[in-house]
Amino acid sequence: MADKQTTYYDDYPIKPYISPERDLAEETLGFKPVPRRNMEPLEDGLLAGDIILLWRIAFGTFTTDSVMPKYLEYTYGIDGQTHLKKLETEGYILKETAVDSLDHITATVKKTILKDSGVSGLSKYRSAELDDLIKTHLTEVALASYFDIRGYGLTGKGQKALANHQAVVDRHPKKKF
């Protein structure tokens, strides 16, 4: 099966990524190739999978703990983690600071951080108010020591790439509810 797939992709400009953990022989629905157009570099050198990754990051919910969707490999032929690092290195995305990542932790965690910093009377505060208190009472360095999760955000370059390749997003399969 793997030999068939290797030869199938011979004429692709870029060979799709196939995870070493993926057992192609056991795929019950049979081999479904990555569409050739998803492996053709766009004019800025990105692949369709990179655009879909930018699109996901644009939602504001993508973090260092996010699980990479399987469709990045199966439909777009990319290794999500590798391309995430590439997008960051090339200035399309940035890893947010601890302060900017506060929306990815719970109010309970925020209260614990503030209590550890000597702030009391927190029961009446909502999450956004806790964010303001944290920004007042802790430095970025101090806050960063409390949690590891960080969000990702698009830079201007990433926003422009996403806007320039809306057709890729439009082709992306939508969930049917």
pTM: 0.87
Structurally, the chain folds into a number of domains equal to 2
**Counts of helices then strands in the chain (DSSP H, E):** 9, 2
Mean pLDDT of 131-137: 96
Alpha helices in the chain (DSSP H): 2-8, 48-58, 71-74, 80-89, 107-116, 127-137, 140-144, 156-164, 166-171
pLDDT at 83: 97
Residue 37, domain extent: 2-96+150-171
**pLDDT reported for residue 101:** 96
91 and 7 share one domain? yes
In a domain, 176, yes or no: no
CA-based nearest residue to 42, from 34, 30, 52, 32: 52
Q: Residue 40 carries which DSSP code?
A: S
Same domain assignment for residues 65 and 134? no
Residue 166: pLDDT band with limits 50, 70, 90: very high
pLDDT tens-digit readout, 52-68? 999 999 999 999 999 99
CA distance 171 to 41: 16
pLDDT tens digits, one per residue of 6-38: 667 888 999 999 888 877 666 656 667 899 999
In angstroms, the CA 25 to CA 16 distance is 17
Is the residue at 177 inside a domain? no
pLDDT at 4 over 90: no
CATH number at residue 62: 1.10.10
If asked whether residues 128 and 157 sit together in one domain, one would say no
- Could you give the angle at which helices 48-58 and 80-89 cross, rounded to 10 degrees? 80
Assign 151 to helix, strand or coil: strand
